Amino acid sequence: MTTLATDLYLLVAAYGLAVAVSYAGLPVLGQGAFVAVGAFGTMQLAAHSVPLGVAVLTAIAAAAVAGYLVGFAAARLAGASLALATWGLAWLAYVALTLFPRLSGGAQGLTRPAPARLVSPSLGVEVSLHPWVHVVIATAISVVAGAALWRSARTAWGLDLAALRTGPALAHSLGVPVQRRRRAVLAVAAALGAAGGGGTAVLLGVVAPADYSPLLSLQLFVAVLVGGTATWWGPVIGVALLSALPNTADAIASGFDVDPLRARAVLTAVLLVAALAARGPIHRLLTWLPSVGPPADIGDASQAPALPATTATPLLELRSVRATYGAVVALDGIDLDLCAGEVHALIGPNGSGKSTALRIAAGTIDATAGEVLRHTDVVRTLQRTAALGELSAATQVAIGARARERVPYAGLRELLSTPAAQPLRRGRAAAVSDALTVVGLGNRGDAATRELDSAEQRLLQIARAVATGAPALLLDEPAAGMSAAQRARLAGVLRALADVGHGVLLVEHDMALVGRVADRVTVLEAGRVIATGTPERVRSDPEVARAYLGLSVA
């Protein structure tokens, strides 16, 4: 019973880590440190005569704060630095525990009587925490965690996690508050880790530093890794494997005459190698197998979601904007505006500042000087089609739709199916289907993104942006890699979007497409606007001809 309870507490910690690793895609190598905060925090507080329940909860809260702070290391460089920071944390905790016996009780650890007794004088109750009570508590937390993850697949939380996992840059461009979400995820992961640690400490009545070495962090990491990406049952499999580990290790240790702790390390290494083999070569084999899907065809672009404002109001204005990268002047004081209902093409030779203008307009980077007036929500597509292979097209568009929902506690509401959740979910589903239809992918919603051809992926990017509901759409070379027929379709899509009131700012090299679809063209050269007006006017402008063809003006 005690063994079962410890395994279940390990499962609680594993669920916490799963939220960070397999759902949010954050490489956390220091879950053991948070478990240790829960275990040693509980014991220390209880030793200083803090009531046991308060001690556990305080330790959990402390770990959550620590996790939240570590989230700052998950800032812009994200993955790599977070992995290093959490690995450093795992060793920091372990080294501190071994060097400061006052903190850890030395090699013998800290002890308290077990089974613990919960006494509440005010209520007049006295409960003895037998192992079966722990089994119930740990099972309850695990079931809640597992069920929340299982149900979250199509909820606001699930979409947030999918966005964090598959493309932080993309999620940011759609308006998902990536940093905040990452910190929240790490706080949750740390809290569940500490809950597991605190529970184990109370259950066993003893915590020793050796049990909270970085090896524990690696074991939890591999337990989460073997379950694959975003599966609620993954941690269960992983912890089941881990629970077999001590006995197997002891058998190996006595059979081959090695230190039991080394034997555990050997088995952990074996598990990690197996998980990696499944991830690398086997995963590659699976994705290499030719995918079967219906042949690509770009659908009908007649339907489009209606926007409230369809008058020609300015959505976005750039006033004398300057941008420099070090000594390089990318934009040298440009004026640019975008109105509702128009397709405004921004053209110019390579390096003329088009993408920089787009980034400044979207707020991704700040202008060095000048003014950017955004009268409405603005969303930008990235030049590179983000490779989010595993998600379905509909889910990706739903990430866009979710990005700008202004409903507090949407995730919680959906999880509990509160009355507010139904319209929320219906509204999101409608936004997704509208956005897919307007770009002509209405029949491809269920396809995994890697099954879409490159033209469809470009259209999907637009759908994602449309689904955010932002009136101003900034599209960076949406026609790249498209055939002539696909470009004709794209032109239809862009026209349809403008007709329902979107303002479309289009960076594009293909002059035929620009000529067909744009209401207005602005030409940049070396960071300056050299011409602006209708496509016909711009085409006959001698300055433009010189910039593009190098002709000297007579």
Under 8 Å CB-to-CB from 254, ≥6 apart: which residues? none
Separation between Cα atoms, residue 448 and residue 199, nearest integer Å: 41
Q: If binding is defined by CB under 8 A, does position 31 make contact with other proteins?
A: no
Q: Which of 65, 96, 114, 412 binds other proteins (CB under 8 A)?
A: 96
Q: What is the DSSP string of 317-358?
A: EEEEEEEEETTEEEEEEEEEEEETT-EEEEE-STTSSHHHHH
Q: How far is the CB of 404 from other proteins (least distance, A)?
A: 18
Examine residue 265 and tell whether it contacts other proteins (CB under 8 A): yes
269 binds other proteins (CB under 8 A): yes
Whole-number minimum distance, CB 181 to other proteins, in Å? 14
Q: Considering beta carbons, is residue 96 or 511 the nearer one to other proteins?
A: 96
Contact between 237 and other proteins per CB under 8 A = no
CA-wise closest residue to 20 among 203, 214, 223 = 223
* Cβ neighbour number for residue 105 with a 10 Å cutoff: 19
- Is the CB of 99 or the CB of 119 nearer to other proteins? 99
Nearer to other proteins, 385 or 532 (CB): 385
Task: Answer whether 206's CB lies under 8 Å from 423's CB.
Answer: no
- Is 27 a binder of other proteins (CB under 8 A)? yes
Is residue 76 involved in binding other proteins (CB under 8 A)? yes
* Pairwise CA distance, residues 207 & 108, whole Å: 8
Phi, psi of 330 (to 5 degrees): -85, -40
Which span (265-273, 313-321, 342-350, 448-456) binds other proteins, by CB under 8 A?
265-273
What stretches of 153-233 show up as alpha helix (H) in DSSP? 156-166, 168-174, 178-204, 214-226
Shortest distance in whole angstroms from residue 330 CB to other proteins: 14
- Do residues 389 and 287 make contact, with C-beta atoms less than 8 angstroms apart? yes
With CB under 8 A as the contact rule, the residue among 1, 47, 54, 75 that binds other proteins is 75
Q: Is 73 in the site for other proteins (CB under 8 A)?
A: yes
- Amino acid type, 220: L
Binding of other proteins at residue 164 (CB under 8 A)?
no
Positions in 340-399 near other proteins (CB under 8 A) = 364-365, 382-384
25 near other proteins, judged by CB under 8 A? yes
Contact between 280 and other proteins by CB under 8 A: the answer reads yes
Helix (H) or strand (E) holding 503, with range, is strand 503-507
Q: Is 21 in the site for other proteins (CB under 8 A)?
A: yes
Rounded CA separation 86/98 (Å)? 18
18 touches other proteins by CB under 8 A? no
The nearest distance, CB 367 to other proteins, in angstroms, is 14
Backbone dihedral angles phi then psi of residue 317, each to the nearest 5 degrees: -135, 135
Structure tokens at 134: 């722990």
Among 57, 61, 65, 84, the residue binding other proteins under the rule CB under 8 A is: 84
Contact between 281 and other proteins by CB under 8 A: the answer reads yes
Rule CB under 8 A: say whether 177 interacts with other proteins: no
Residue with Cβ nearer other proteins (8 or 90) = 90
Residue closer to other proteins by CB (options 50, 276) is: 276
The CA distance from 121 to 196, in Å, is 27
Question: Rounded to an integer, what distance in angstroms lies between the CA atom of residue 218 and that of residue 204?
Answer: 22
Toward other proteins, which CB reaches closer, 139 or 383? 383
Name, in order, each residue with C-beta under 8 angstroms of 157's C-beta and a sequence gap of 6 or more.
148, 411, 414, 415
Q: Is residue 79 a contact point for other proteins (CB under 8 A)?
A: yes
Q: Which residues contact 113 (CB under 8 A, 6 or more apart)?
A: 205
92 binds other proteins (CB under 8 A): yes
Cα 469 off chain centre by = 20
**Which residue ranges make up the site for other proteins (CB under 8 A)?**
21, 25, 27, 29, 69-70, 72-73, 75-77, 79-85, 87-89, 91-92, 95-96, 99-100, 168-169, 172, 214, 218, 221-222, 225, 258-259, 262, 265-266, 268-269, 272-273, 275-276, 279-281, 364-365, 382-384
